[in-house]
Chain A
Amino acid sequence: MPEPMSAPAALPLWWVVVLPFLLVAVAAAVVAADASLTARARGARADVLLPVREAGRLLVGQRRRTVAADSVLWRAGGAVLPVAAVLAGVVLPLGLRPVADLSVGVVWFNAMEVLAWAAVWMVGWGPNSALGLVGGYRFVAQGLAYELPHMFAIITAALGAESLRPTDIVAAQRGLWFVVIMPVAFVVYLISATAMAFWGPFDAPVGRDVAGGAAAELSGVDRLVFAGGRRLLLVVAVALAVPLFLGGGAGPWLPAWLWVAVKTAVLLALVLLVRRRFPTIRADRFTEVAWIVLVPLTIVQALVVALLVLNRGGAG
């Protein structure tokens, strides 16, 4: 077993109140940055207040319920997204320490992420709408493609540290960031994190071709919770790549929390730019690639890391 931690490594409990606001602020910055890129392509002016305008618009907007809707599943599905995103976010080291320092942190993170699967399907099914139904099922198919490469990528990082605790994984990268010995896992992690947040180019479940798909019938605060939850999920999923592969808060001169912020911002910017470079990748094409290319690649990557771990164990 790994040695017991010497000191409590979690942040003070009041951070559970700060964390959601912190994540919402980052998500709002993502929305603003993305919209300004969109405006530039179209030749319009960027607008810093945009996240506020959009949130305000949905807060004053009327909610609606469709004929014979399955309201329980529909509303629960929307609310699950932000809840799952924040609960996954508790294991993120914000600097040196996370809000909750779980010994099974990465498993917890994975478990929370997977809730998105159910959530999007429920939101698509709920309104009794044909386009919503198609969108919901698109996400299930997409999940079957991205989920395994995603888990293998996470497990590879855990294997490199021989721990499921994110702070241990960061500590294990003191000498060498994991991105160096597991570049494939890093790239696959980012691809699958984007797919999990059904962010472009994996946005078919809420695609324009099906008039918003799973989200087609959402208005008012229901839409705010769903759309906000999706951005939170994107932020949290991308942010975990920092402790898993980029050494967490390690770096010269700056304090750890600032390094975490800088690295997360760089990864989020990368994700936003990638979305502009690719058309929507549909699950009916992606599934084959995921299973025949990404799964074997991540398994080979895990094997390489396992051999490195054996070698290290033998030497030490």
Chain B
Amino acid sequence: MDLRRLLLRLAAARPHVLLVALPGATEARLAVEAELGRRGWPAAVSPADADVLLVAGPAGPALAAVVGRVWEQMPEPRVRVVVEVVADVSGTLDSAASQLASWTAARPEYGGPGPREQEHRGPEHGGDEHGGHGGGMEMPGGLPMADLGEDRDGLMLDRLHVALGPVLPDWPAGLVLRVELQGDVIQEAEAEVLDPGRGGSSRGDVPAAEDARHAAARHLDGLARFLGVAGWADPAARARRLRDDLLAGAEPAAVRGQVHALTARVRRSRTLRWLVRGIPAGERAVAARLADRLAALDAAVDGAPPAQPGPSRPPDLAALARAVVGAELAAARLVVAAVDPDTDLVAEERGARHA
């Protein structure tokens, strides 16, 4: 049909891209984000809103399963692409767009698994584990209902088990937070990183002795993600743009004025202070961690010697899980964004549970 072809072509000029960042492949993620920003293509926040599934880096077995599931959740027309070599980004996105523009229903799904109907729909864990009030009844989709549990006020209420991540906007690569929710409050949490230690390098192309440019870019990236979670898109976009400029070779001194303007704007915002006030995040509260990040960013573009390089320690996932217990989902997302665990450094399978 001609009208459909026309609409497909119109839409393909601006596809929504769902970016799956993998641990150890931060460089690829940054290259993709920079290219998406240049093109003005929006980043999808969920598979329902996505046209292109872009996997940045080589996926291990656990993340390959996640990618497959997210692919299944995407509506057609859809294209799945993998970026492993940074130089490829632009060509890969072009080819994704042209596949969308000339999409026909008859097209065999690119790299997709079999038809949806054949996919196994059972719960990941046995249904007995949480043994809900379904009794012996067959529940739709083979899933149990949420079970009762005592909440922090001593009331017996439904506890919903949800695995957050690893594919969420502005979320650390590969991180999964398995939480028990009552309403939107986290009662229990467990953090793990899927397929850790595959990249080997630490975040980005950051060498062990980090220079000012990369320090500034890293802090801008962290700031952009924090502001994204806080729902402040405008300065988040500016931070991303400055980060991309730095990684493209701009001297820190050249962007100093813009970075200072950005940090001053974030610091000045009484609304942001009010919104992040009183949210504990482990040893330092969210607000303090944000202030730390802004100060470190200012220092990096001022050419101050970077803080003690020291050996990079893997993030303490147990502490992260502890920090989100008792928080509302929105606050928990701010905590994760403020702590900003560098999942590239997680070496082996580790998990942490906190009750």
Contacts and interface: CB of A to CB of B under 8 A. Distances in A.
A43 B242 CA distance: 10
Contact of B234 (A41, A45, A64, A137): A41
A134 B184 contact: yes
A198 B245 CA distance: 33
Interface string A54-83: 101101111110011000000000000000
Given A41-B234, A130-B181, A279 B46 contact: no
Nearest to B13: A53
22 contacts: A38-B233, A44-B40, A47-B40, A53-B14, A57-B11, A57-B51, A59-B7, A60-B7, A67-B143, A134-B184, A208-B229, A209-B334, A210-B333, A211-B46, A216-B48, A219-B49, A219-B75, A223-B49, A276-B234, A279-B230, A279-B275, A285-B275
B132 interface: no
A55 B329 CA distance: 31
Contacts of A137: 183-184
Contacts of B269: 278-279
Interface of A: 37-39, 41-47, 49-50, 52-54, 56-57, 59-64, 67-68, 130-131, 134, 137-138, 200-201, 203-204, 207-212, 215-220, 223, 276-282, 284-285
Contacts, number: 158
Interface string B13-49: 1111000000000000000000001111000011011
B140 interface: yes
A212 B45 contact: yes
**7 closest A-B pairs (Cβ-Cβ)?**
A280-B231, A44-B40, A57-B11, A56-B7, A279-B232, A68-B140, A67-B141
B48 A217 contact: yes
Interface residues of B, number: 58
A68 B141 contact: yes
B214 to A, nearest CB: 21
B238 interface: yes
B11 A56 contact: yes
A272 to B, nearest CB: 11
Contacts of A278: 232, 269, 271
B40 A42 contact: yes
B77 A281 contact: no
Interface in B237-289: 237-238, 240-241, 269, 271-272, 274-275
B231 A39 contact: no
Nearest to B51: A57
A278 B235 CA distance: 10
A279 B234 CA distance: 9
Interface stretch (B58-66, B162-170, B313-321, B346-354): B162-170
A148 B262 CA distance: 36
Nearest to B5: A60
A49 B50 CA distance: 19
A209 B11 contact: no
A134 B160 CA distance: 12
A210 B275 contact: no
Given A53-B13, A57-B11, A279-B275, A218 B232 contact: no
Contacts of A208: 45, 169-170, 228-229, 231, 233
A54 B41 CA distance: 12
A38 B39 CA distance: 12
Contact of A209 (B38, B39, B272, B333): B333
